[in-house]
Amino acid sequence: MPSELQIRAQKFLKRPIPKGMDYAPGSMAERFIATFAKKGRLEDDGEVSELLSLIVAESFATAQDRKGEEAAYFQESAEILSAIQETLE
């Protein structure tokens, strides 16, 4: 049975990309969320946690730099990634 976080990740991936946003399909952030949405976990090989920390920080910073739907999109992404990171600890 999928966890609440896994379901949240799945819903996020179905969310429309805000119009006009500089969207990078297949970004590391998106790949981590997609993997967690599919498997309900990430394999931590030592580098995953470190890379995820950088992505979480960048996502929160980007959310603060944006406005409206873009800010909300990056904020949700950052919160999901942060929660995924907590599953690795």
Scan for tokens 């790949």, then name that residue. 31
Is the distance from CB of 63 to CB of 41 less than 8 angstroms?
Answer: no
Q: What is the pLDDT of residue 10?
A: 98
Which region, left, alpha or beta, applies to residue 40 given φ > 0 means left and ψ of -120 to 50 means alpha?
left
Judge whether 20 lies within some domain.
no
| Number of neighbouring beta carbons within 10 Å of residue 65 | 10
pLDDT of 51 over the 80 cut: yes
Judge whether 58 lies within some domain.
yes
* Tally of structural domains, the chain: 1
Domain with 69, as residue range(s), is 4-15+25-88
Distance, CA of 27 to CA of 87 (rounded, Å):
21
Q: What percent of the chain clears pLDDT 70, i.e. is strictly above it?
A: 100
Mean pLDDT of the chain: 94
